[in-house]
Amino acid sequence: MDYKKLIIRGISYSQTQSGAYALLLEHEETSVKLPVVIGNFEAQSISLGLEKDLKPPRPLTHDLFSKFVTSTHYTLESVIIYQIIDGVFFSNINFKHTENGEELILDARTSDAVAMAVRFDAPIYTTEQVLNEAGILLEIENNNETSSTSEENYSTEETSDLKKMTSEDLQSLLNDAVKDEDYDLAMEIQEELKRRNKKID
């Protein structure tokens, strides 16, 4: 299968879910962004994994598991986010034995898989289908009038019913949502735009 490589663009506080964070992954070639809602502990663990110089006084769960993997002569080869169902991402962690080459695949939550991947500097991949279903592409080329009025005119009440908006207004609002790192709203808008495109097809 032709997998698409993702890079970690950052972690931001979720605008709509209290205590949750949005992990932002991005496809290197197309710049399509894949926002994944994760918990506070996983966000902290991924951040610490990215900051190689920062070491917690006691090992976190992902540090402990990483040590176990290394001690059993395995290495983490890659993480693959292979599907999304009802907004939930499903991932596999691919291990390989350093001596006999034996491969081991474990099912994992995407947040845990990414937390492990950063500790092994392992690549993260996804499928084209997942990118098509959950990816967000920020369209920079928008006319200035639309983008300037979008922030001023769209109140919370207006955004609560996306179905009443024109496709142009939705695209402008989508751009603003991504800029403001409100990926929950961005995904809702993306779903509405896809629903309209299906009707046209």
Query: pLDDT tens, 122-162?
Result: 999 999 999 998 888 754 334 333 333 333 334 444 445 77
Measure the CA–CA gap between 178 and 185, rounded to whole angstroms.
Answer: 9
Residues 63 and 153 in one domain: no
Residues 104 and 187 in one domain: no
Residues 19 and 38 in one domain: yes
Residue-range definition of the domain harbouring residue 163: 144-200
Which is it for strands 124-126 and 74-85: parallel, antiparallel or unpaired?
parallel
Name the domain count of the chain. Answer: 2
pTM, 2 dp: 0.70
Residues 14 and 88 in one domain: yes
Measure the CA–CA gap between 126 and 80, rounded to whole angstroms.
Answer: 5
Residues 89 and 155 in one domain: no
Asked which of 92, 107, 134 is the last residue of a domain, the reply is 134
Residues 97 and 17 in one domain: yes
Kindly state the tokens that stand for 164: 């009443």
Measure the CA–CA gap between 104 and 93, rounded to whole angstroms.
Answer: 8
The confidence score (pLDDT) of residue 156 equals 43
Residues 17 and 95 in one domain: yes
Measure the CA–CA gap between 25 and 19, rounded to whole angstroms.
Answer: 20
The confidence score (pLDDT) of residue 149 equals 34
